Structure 1
Amino acid sequence: MGSRRLVAADDYRNTTNGYTGLRADLAWRAGWSATAIYTLPQQRRPDDRASLARNAVAPDREGFDLVLWGGMLARAHWRKR
C-alpha cells in the first residue's frame, strides 16, 4: 500500500508472510478512492527449536492479539489547462 514502506509483499524471500483478513477498494465518481485493510498475520508453527529439529508439523495460526489494520484515502489530481 502506498510507498510499500509499511505494508508490502516480500520480494526476495523464499517464504512469504501469510495473512487472514479483508481488503476493500472503493472508488467514487468525484475522483476519490479508498483502500481499507483488516488482517490477522499468521504465526508460523511450530516455533520452538525442538519441534523444528525433529521436523514436526503443526498448522499455522492467527489470533486477535496481533492485528494489522489501516487505510488509505486518495484523490485524483486533475489540472485543467
Structure 2
Amino acid sequence: MASHKSALKKHRQDEKRRVRNRQHASRLRTQVKKFRKAVASGDEKAARELLPETLSLIDRTAKLGVLHANAAARSKSRATLAVNKLSSPTR
C-alpha cells in the first residue's frame, strides 16, 4: 500500500475514475449491442433510430477519454456504413 500522502490521493482518484470509466464503457457496449442486433436482423428502421443515439454515445465516451478518438471515429464510420448497407439495393 502507498505510504506517501500524494500516492494515497492518486490511488483514491484512480479508483474513482476507474469506476466512472467502467460505467461509461458498459453503457456504450450495451448501446452498441442493441444497434448491432438491429443491423444483424436487417431491421433498417430500428437501426436508423438507434444510429444517432449510438453515435452520440460514442462521441461522449471518446470525449471523456474512455475510448480513443481514432477508435471512436472508426466505430462511427462502421456503424454508418452498416446502416447505409441495409438501405442500399442488393445486386
TM above 0.5, one fold?
A: no
Query: Scaled by the length of structure 2, what TM-score is found?
Result: 0.20
| Structure with the higher fraction of residues in strand conformation | 1
Please identify which structure carries the higher helix content.
Answer: 2
